[in-house]
Amino acid sequence: MATIKLSECNMKVIKEICESFGNKEGELINVLHKTQGHFGYLPAEVQEYVAECLHIPVAKVYGVVSFYSFFTMTPKGEHPINVCLGTACYVRGAEKVLDALKNELKIEVGQVTPDGKFSLNCLRCVGACGLAPVMSIGGKTYGRMTPEKVKEVLAEYNN
Amino acid sequence: MVKLTIDNRPIEVEAGTTILKAARQNGIDIPTLCYFELAGMNFENKPGGCRVCVVEVEGRRNLAPACVTECMEGMVVHTHNARVINARKTVVELILSDHPNDCLQCAKSGDCELQALATKLGIREIPFKGEQSTYRKDTTKSVYRDMDKCVMCRRCETMCNQIQSVGALSAINRGFPAVVSPAFESDLGTTSCVNCGQCVQVCPVGALTLVDNVSDVMKALADPTKTVVVQTAPAVRVALGEEFGMEPGTIVTGKMAAALRRIGFDYVFDTDWSADLTIMEEGTELLHRVAKVLNGEKVAMPQFTSCCPAWIMFMEKNFPDLLDNLSTAKSPQQMFGPVAKNFFAKKIGVKREDMVVVSVMPCLAKKSEVAREEFKVNGDPDVNFSISTRELAHLIKQFNIDLSQLPEEDFDSPLGESTGAAVIFGATGGVMEAALRTAYEVHTKKTLPRIDFEEVRGLDGVKTATVDFDGLPVKVAVCHTLSNARAMMEEVRNGNPRGFHFIEVMACPGGCIGGAGQPYHHGNSDIIRKRMEATYREDAGKPIRKSHENPDIIAIYKEYYGEPCGHLSHEQLHTHYIDRSTKVEIEG
C-alpha cells in the first residue's frame, strides 16, 4: 500500500485537528473543514493521514472530499480570486468578467497560475448585489466590474 | 404486527418490515436492481437508489420504492399495475441510456441482472439520448473494472466496507460523475484491496468482472510441446453443476474429472490431494508451536491458517505485527505446484519449463496468488494459470460438452487421491476440522473417539471450540468474512484473552464455497448452504477421512519429502509473508 510522506510539522497539525474532534469518524467533515482551513486545500497525503488518524478507509475520506464542492484538492494561489455568478452579478455581465480573467491569467476556473500567485474560482452571491458584478481577491471586494477593469485590478498585485 | 394488502392479498407482517420483504415473504416477486441481501450473513444493501422496485401505494401521490418503504396498517399496494410497469420501464430505459449496451461481448452476458430486467420489461429501444459516463479501465491480477457499466447500486461498496472491512472502494463525486472507486481514482491494485473479489460476486452488471484466463489455458492446451496438468479445488465440485442447470448442492466430482480429460488436459489431478498435504505440514507446525509453548519457549501464538490468499493479503496490509502467527505452510494450490513441477515432472521425464500447471479454483484471489514472486522459480510460476469455477464452466461449454451426460471418472494418480478431510477445506471450519482430525491423532497417538467436529461447522461468523487432546485443552476459533477476521485479529493483538491456539480464517462468506469465482448466487444464501451440505456429504461418503491416512500422502513422504516440516518440505511447501501496510514517513 501507499507510503504517506508528510513533514513533521504538518503531521502534528493534522493530528491535533483530529484529536480536537476526539478522533471520531463522525467528525470527518469538521476535521476536513478545519484541515482545509489550515492548508488551503486537501492534497492526497493529507487525506491519507486524516484517514490514518480517524481509523477509516482513505476511500471514504476521498468520497467526502469529492462530494462537497467546498473541499478542494488544488492549492489556492497567493491571491485567491472569486467571481460572483449569483443572479444579480450574472445578469450584469459577470461571465464576461470571468472570461477576461481567464484570458488574462491563462487558467481555467479551479486552477492556479504556474507562479502560484492567483487562483480562480466562482461562487454564488457575496451579499453585495448592489455592486454587481462583484469579484473578490483575498479579502478585498471589487464592485461594478467590467472586463476592461480586470487588467488594472490585477496590476495591483503584480509587484 | 401490521395488516396490509399486496396485489389484492391480505398480508400480515411484523412492524418495520419493508414492502419488498413483505412481498417476498409471501411469494410476490418485485423486481430489484440495487437491492441485495445475503440472508443470515448480515449483508443488506439498500441505498434505495435505482427505483426499479417502485410500487403503487393507494392514497400516496408518487410511487414508492418497495425496498425502503415500511408497511403501514391498512396499506393497499399494487406491485404490477400499468402505472407501475410503465414507470419501472422508464427507470430501466434511463439506466440503459448511460450504459454501453455491448451485451454481445460483455463478460456478464447471461448472468447480468440489468440484461434480465430489460428482457423482462420488453425493452426494444432506448428513447433517451444523452451523455455517456466514461472512466479509465483498471485491473488487478484478479478483478477487472469497467465502470462505464456501473449502475451505482453500491453493492460492491457495501461488500468491501461492511462485510470485508477492506475499505478499498467508496462512492465518489456527485451527480452525473458519481461512481464507485478507490481513493483518488487510483489503481485498485495499489489500495487496501486484497483481491477477495467479493465485489465481483455481488456486482449486478459487468462493471466488475474477473480477469479471464481461459484463453491462456487454451493456448497451453494447443501447444504440443507442453504437458498440461490440472488441479481442482474442493469447493468447485459442489458448485460447477449449477452452471449446467443442476440443483445447487449437486456433487459433480466424477463428471468434472471426465470433462477435464475430454478438454485435453494431460493429467487430471486434485487440489484435494495437496489439501491433505497441507494438513500434514500445517498440523505438524501447530504441534511444534504447542510443544514450544509447553516448553516455555517464546513462539507466536495462536497459529493462523494460511490457505486463503485474500486473508494473507489482508494480514500483510493490516496486521503486519501478526505475520509470524500465520502458518508458513503454502496454500493447497501453491503446494500442488512445486510437487507437480519437481516430483511429478521428474517422474514422467518432463522438464519443468515444459509443464504447465492450471488450477481450477472457486476464488479470484488465487489468480493473484499464482503471480506472487516467491511462488516462481527463475520467473517460471509453480502454478501457471488459475481459472475460476465459472471459467471452467465456460471452457466446458466451448468444448460443447454436456456435463450431465458424462460418466463419473476418477482423478489420475499419484496426485489425485484424497480424503474427506481435504474435501471439507471448501467450507468455513473445514480446514480446522481437518487439522484437528490429524493433529489429535498424531499428538495423542490414539484414534479419535468421534471424527465429526460439529462445533466448527455452519455459517455462524465466528465459531469457537475447545478440544481435549488427551489432557491438553486446545482452543480453536473459526471466522469467515474479513470483518469477522478483523475483530478477531484486534482481540489477538490485545493479548488473546480467550487463549486461542489455532484460528482458521476464510475471506469469503461461507468459506471457499461462497468464493468470488463460484457461479453467481445473486444473493441467495440457500445456495451457499446447499454447497456446504454437499461438502459434508462428500466427506461422509469417503472411505478415508483423515489426511494422515491418505496412502498417496504417506507414499510421497516416504519417497520424497521425508517428514512433515522437514528440510525439503520447508524448501518447497512453506513460504514467508511481506509487510505491505501503509507507512507514514516524515519528509525532509
Domain stops at, among B158, B192, B211: B211
Does A97 reside within a domain?
Answer: yes
Q: Domain containing B11: what range?
A: 2-80
Q: Which residue among B37, B243, B369, B504 is the active-site one?
A: B369
B297 catalytic? Reply is no
Give A17's contacts (C-beta < 8 A, 6+ positions apart).
A31, A34, A35, A38
Q: Do A143 and A117 reside in the same domain of the chain?
A: yes
pLDDT value at residue A127: 86
CATH number at residue A90: 3.40.30.10
Neighbouring residues of B323: CB distance < 8 A, sequence distance ≥ 6: B315, B316, B577, B579
User: Is residue B414 located within the same domain as residue B361?
Assistant: yes
Q: Mind telling me how many Å the CA of A67 is from chain B's nearest CA? A: 5
Q: Are residues A16 and A84 in the same domain?
A: no
Q: Which residues in chain A touch residue B135, judged by CB atoms under 8 angstroms apart?
A: none
Q: What is the DSSP string of B263-320?
A: HT-SEEEEHHHHHHHHHHHHHHHHHHHHHHHHTT-----SEE----HHHHHHHHHH-G
Stretch A135-155: mean pLDDT:
93
Specify whether B450 is located in the same domain as B543: yes
Question: Could you tell me if residue B94 is inside a domain?
Answer: no
Q: Within a domain: residue B144? A: yes
Q: Same structural domain for residues A90 and A36? A: no
Residue B161 to residue A56, Cβ atoms within 8 A: no
Q: Per the domain annotation, does B584 fall within a domain?
A: no
CB contact at 8 A, B191 and A1: yes
Supply the pLDDT for residue A74: 87
Give residue B584's pLDDT.
86
Number of inter-chain CB pairs under 8 A, A vs B: 83
A89: containing domain = 79-155
Are B137 and B149 part of one and the same domain? yes
Q: Which residue of B has its CA nearest to A64?
A: B172
Q: What is the CATH number of the domain that holds B74?
A: 3.10.20.740
Do B168 and B219 lie in one domain? The reply is no
Instruction: Decide which of A37, A67, A97 is a domain's last residue.
Output: A67
Domain end call among B185, B211, B237: B211
Is the same domain home to A98 and A143?
A: yes
pLDDT value at position B270?
A: 98
Residue A159: per-residue pLDDT:
64
**Domain match, B443 and B531 both:** yes
Tell me, yes or no, whether A96 and A126 share the same domain.
yes
A62 lies within 8 A of chain B by CB: yes
Same domain, A48 and A93: no
| B571 has catalytic annotation | no
Q: Are B490 and B366 in a shared domain?
A: yes
Contacts of B260 (CB under 8 A, 6+ apart): B230, B232, B268, B360
Q: ipTM score here?
A: 0.91
Beta strands in B169-276 (DSSP E): 170-172, 179-181, 208-210, 227-232, 267-270
Nearest CA in chain A to B161: A57
Residue B397 bears catalytic tag:
no
Residue A1 within any structural domain of the chain? no
Please report the pLDDT score of residue A123 as a whole number: 87
What the block records as the C-alpha cell of B78 is 399494487
B417 and B521 share one domain: yes
Residues of chain A contacting residue B183, judged by C-beta atoms under 8 Å apart:
44, 47-48, 57-59, 61-63
Quick one: A89 and A151 in the same domain?
yes
User: Does B366 qualify as catalytic in the annotation?
Assistant: yes
A146 within some domain = yes
The whole-number pLDDT of residue A1 equals 65
User: Do A109 and A49 share a domain, yes or no?
Assistant: no
Taking an 8 Å cut-off on Cβ atoms, the answer to whether A59 and B173 are in contact is no
Rounded distance, CA B582 to CA B384, Å?
Answer: 30
pTM of the model: 0.93
Asked if the structure places residue A131 within a domain, the reply is yes
Residue A150 included in any domain: yes
- How many folded domains does chain A comprise? 2
Domain total of chain B: 3
Q: Are residues B199 and B224 in the same domain?
A: no
Strands (E), B67-175: 76-78, 138-139, 143-145, 170-172
Please check whether residues B183 and B254 belong to one and the same domain. no
Domain assignment present for A107? yes
Kindly report, residue by residue over A67-119, the tens digit of the pLDDT: 988 899 988 888 999 999 999 999 999 999 999 999 999 999 989 999 989 99
Indicate if A96 and A147 belong to the same structural domain: yes
Determine which one of B156, B199, B203, B307 is catalytic. Answer: B307
Parallel, antiparallel, or unpaired for β B143-145 and B170-172? Answer: unpaired
Q: Residue A138's pLDDT is what?
A: 87
Per the listing, cell 499419484 goes with: B414
Whether B24 and B159 map to the same domain: the answer is no
As a whole number of angstroms, the distance between CA B276 and CA B418 comes to: 7
Residues A99 and A130 in one domain: yes
Do residues B229 and B173 both lie within one domain?
Answer: no
- Of B36, B59, B80, the position where a domain reaches its end is B80
Which chain A residue has the Cα nearest residue B317?
A1
Looking at residue B23, its pLDDT comes to 98
Catalytic residue among B142, B192, B274, B327: B327
Mutate to test the interface with B, among A9, A46, A60 (most CBs of B within 10 A): A60
CB contact under 8 A, B174 and A66: yes
Nearest to B481 by CA among B528, B539, B438: B528
**Blockwise average pLDDT, block size 10, chain B, 588 residues:** 97 97 96 94 91 97 97 97 97 96 96 97 94 94 98 97 97 94 97 98 98 98 98 98 98 98 98 98 96 94 98 98 98 98 97 97 98 97 98 98 97 96 97 97 94 96 96 96 98 97 98 98 96 98 97 97 96 97 85
Same domain, B233 and B205: no
Q: Which residue of B has its CA nearest to A49?
A: B584
Same domain, A35 and A92: no
Give the CATH number for residue B506. Answer: 3.40.50.1780
What pLDDT is recorded for position A4?
84
